[in-house]
């Protein structure tokens, strides 16, 4: 918490203007987590080798990733944990609170609404919607489930700027369209469908079904090669 502004600027290394390659961007949250864990352990300095190890990547890759956000780090020594953490936080836009609406209060939606990991990382759940009248009005923690009919009104009222879609596939596109029309430009979707959105809207997808199927592919191949003797490797 606290999220102070970076004190010393004009160090010659304000590289914020550059655009980060997507693959690199996707790893920054991982680095950030590792750095924050180190901070919690009062670790002050870290080498690219150590941090890369913690993040499960090669050290050269870590260094290249960090180099996109500027060149801090001291040759012969390593990186200042707190400083790099702040740099990444700032770059990701975590210095501001993001106001998240969860659309769909079924099993998954309710679980997400209660998930404490949101708040702790600068994402506040400010609204939960559902279309089922048996669910509308029920409480989830300190939130009350709103009627999806009032989606536009409530998004405006709560100043939502990010949405999580946790609705059945059949209605996902339609609700996505309403979110977009209401001005939401960042959507995290759990619905197993390909959403069509205009180019200025960012959609990220989380899909358990897809992930399990990918696992199944590898598992099947493993079976085939070592066929017969199932793993039973319990020492």
Partner DNA sequence: CATTGTGAATGGGTTCACAGCG
Partner DNA sequence: CGCTGTGAACCCATTCACAATG
Q: Which stretch binds its own copies (CB under 8 A): 39-47, 58-66, 124-132, 188-196?
A: 188-196
Indicate which of its own copies, DNA, none lies near residue 23 (CB less than 5 to 8 Å, by partner kind).
Answer: DNA
Q: Are 166 and 191 in contact (CB under 8 A)?
A: yes
Figure out which of the listed residues 3, 37, 77, 181 binds DNA, where binding follows CB under 7 A: 77
Figure out which of the listed residues 74, 199, 200, 228 binds its own copies, where binding follows CB under 8 A: 200
Does 51 engage in binding with its own copies (CB under 8 A)? Answer: no
Question: What CA–CA distance (Å, rounded) separates 226 from 128?
Answer: 48
Does 221 engage in binding with DNA (CB under 7 A)? Answer: no
118-147 mask for its own copies (x: CB under 8 A)?
Answer: x--xxx------------------------
- The CB-side HSE value for 229 (13 A sphere, CA atoms) comes to 3
Does 204 engage in binding with its own copies (CB under 8 A)? Answer: yes
36-75 mask for DNA (x: CB under 7 A)?
Answer: -----------xxx-------xxxxx-xx-xx---xxxxx
Does 43 engage in binding with its own copies (CB under 8 A)? Answer: no
Site for its own copies in 75-94 (CB under 8 A): 91-94
Site for DNA in 108-147 (CB under 7 A): none
Residue 76, annotated as binding a ligand: no
């Amino acid at each position: 918490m606290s999220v102070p502004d970076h004190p010393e600027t004009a160090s010659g290394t304000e590289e914020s203007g550059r655009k980060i390659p997507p693959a690199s961007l996707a790893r920054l949250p991982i680095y950030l987590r590792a750095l924050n864990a180190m901070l919690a352990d009062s670790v002050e300095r870290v080498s690219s080798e150590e941090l890369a190890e913690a993040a499960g990547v090669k050290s050269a890759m870590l260094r290249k990733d960090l180099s996109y956000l500027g060149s801090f780090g001291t040759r012969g020594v390593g990186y200042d944990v707190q400083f790099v953490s702040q740099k990444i936080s700032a770059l990701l836009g975590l210095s501001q609170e993001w106001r998240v609406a969860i659309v769909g209060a079924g099993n998954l939606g309710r679980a997400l609404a209660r998930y404490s990991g949101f708040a702790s990382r600068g994402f506040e759940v400010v609204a939960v919607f559902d279309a089922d009248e048996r669910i509308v009005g029920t409480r989830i923690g300190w939130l009350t489930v709103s009627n999806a009919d009032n989606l536009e009104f409530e998004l405006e009222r709560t100043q939502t700027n990010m949405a999580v879609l946790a609705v059945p596939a059949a209605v996902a596109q339609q609700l996505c369209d309403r979110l977009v029309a209401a001005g939401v430009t960042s959507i995290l979707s759990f619905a197993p469908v390909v959403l069509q959105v205009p180019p200025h809207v960012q959609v990220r997808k989380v899909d358990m079904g897809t992930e399990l199927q990918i696992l199944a592919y590898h598992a099947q191949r493993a079976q085939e090669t070592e066929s017969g003797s199932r793993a039973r490797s319990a020492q």
